[in-house]
Structure formats: structure tokens, C-alpha cells
Amino acid sequence: MVNWEKTASIILVGLMLIFTLFPLYWLIVTSFKTRLEVIGGVVFIPHQLNWMNYYRPLFEDVYGAYLRNSFILSIAEIALCLPPGILAAYAFSRLKFKADNHFLFWFLTNRMAPPAAFLIPYWVLYTYLNLFDTIYGLIIINSIGNLPFVIWVLKGFIDAIPGDIEEAAYIDGYTFWQMLRKILLPLLRPAIAVCSLFVFIFTWNEMLFASLLTTSPAAMPLTGGLLHYMSQIWVNWSEIAALSVVANLPVIIVIYFLQKHIATALTFGAVR
């Protein structure tokens, strides 16, 4: 007897996988096609792998510099946001001071507000401070959105850690910095990994400010460069697909290596 419920579930999962994975497959396949294969009709498997779609924009054009800027920007964001984010999250979690909830809400509004609402003020400010078309300017503007996210996530994790652990450390003669380094940070390792992952993804994928506040290869990241790749005359879809694959690879690799910490962070505090 046919189990229709199980069969329907298998069909539904199969359709969802096709709907999810086919765009990625088509992106990868297109990145190896020649121009004739792209405009000549539907080709599911290219006749030969055209590696020039990767080599030319990365090594003969400016997109290698754009890729380098994306790495510098994303790593700098992690280094800039995590240390103050940990300290601020600890303060909001453990210390009670006047208007603490209002300060926390104000931090979160910087993340919730639409970035386009700040575009003109940033444009005027960056032009006045000579931060326009600089990688330092992008680091600052991304940290304004990433730091509140780090504080909000880490505060929830610190709330789940019993305060008795810290009190026992102080009784044993630990200073605050010793307690932070030897006790709190090891317990927060999954949370720090998750925050690093999301800060990396948010910064890597940011396109609005990257495309409007930078113009030269010295500062523009890959997302802004991809937006400027298309012209009014023609579009090289194969090279755009190749650059899109390159832009997705670092995120996939980072998620793969941090997936254990992500699973641990999702269950952190569930059992106390």
C-alpha cells in the first residue's frame, strides 16, 4: 500500500530543493559558459569550462582589488566590533544604571533603521571629513550597524550565564579582566563565533554604501564593483556569474567551518 503522506512529503522536499539549489547550479554553470552559449539558447552543461571568465576580471581587471577590499573590510569589522561589543553587552547584562534599557534600545534602532535614510547625511559628512572613497569610511559606517547587533546577541548569551560563576571567580581572587579572559570568554566562544559569522556576512554583502560612498579600486568592495560591472552597451553575463560565485564562496566556507559553533549557540542556555 502506498503511503501517500510520505510520498507527498518527498515530492514537496524535492521541489523545495530544486527551487533552492537550481539558481545556484545555474549561476555556476553560467560562469563557465562562453558568450555564444549564454546568448545562443538554454545550455545546461557547457561544452568546455571557460576559466577565463574568472581569470580576466580578477587578474586583468580591477576586481581582484575589489575582492581584497572586501576581505579587509569584513575582517576589520570583526576586529573592531567584537571587543567593545563584549564589554558593552556585559555592562547591559550585569550592571544596572539609569536609563539602561533606553540606551540599549537606542543602540538597536541604529540597526533597525533603513540605511537609505542616512545616505544623504553620510554623504555630506564624509565629504566634509574627507572620508569619501576611503576604506576607513566604510569600516566606520558598517560598524554603526554591526556593533548594535553584536551587543544585542551577546547580551542574551551573557544573561544565560549564572552570575554565581563570576562571584566565585572574584572570591578566588580574580580581577575583572582575569575573570573575563579565563571564564567568560571561553563560555561565550559559540556566541562570539556566531557574531563573527554574521558580522562577516553583513559586511561582505553590504552594497548600498559600498556602491555610493566609494568610486575607486582603492576602497570599493566586490559588491559595489559588481553593481558597476554592467554598462549601457552590453553585459558579460558569464563574467558576472563568475564574480558572483567568487563573492559567495567565502561566506559558504566560513559557514562550513563555524557550523559546529552555530549549532552550539542555538542551544546555549536551553538547559541550565
In angstroms, the CA 137 to CA 252 distance is 27
Please tell me the predicted confidence (pLDDT) of residue 26: 86
The pTM assigned to this predicted structure is 0.84
Please tell me the predicted confidence (pLDDT) of residue 271: 42
The single-letter code of the amino acid at 251 is V
The pLDDT tens digits along the chain (272 residues) read 557 777 888 888 888 888 888 888 888 888 888 887 777 777 778 888 888 888 888 888 888 899 999 999 999 999 999 999 999 888 888 887 776 667 777 777 777 778 888 888 888 888 888 888 889 989 999 998 899 889 888 888 888 888 888 888 888 888 888 888 888 888 888 889 888 988 999 999 888 888 888 888 888 898 888 887 776 556 778 888 888 899 888 888 888 877 776 766 666 544 44
252 to each of 19, 63, 219, 248, how far by Cα in Å?
19, 20, 24, 6
Please tell me the predicted confidence (pLDDT) of residue 265: 62
55 to each of 46, 173, 208, 227, 230, how far by Cα in Å?
18, 58, 27, 19, 18
- Boundaries of every domain in the chain: 59-266
**What is the per-residue DSSP string for 1-69?**
---HHHHHHHHHHHHHHHHHHHHHHHHHHHHT--HHHHHSS--SS-SS--THHHHIIIIISTHHHHHHH
Q: Does the domain spanning 59-266 belong to CATH 1.10.3720.10? A: yes
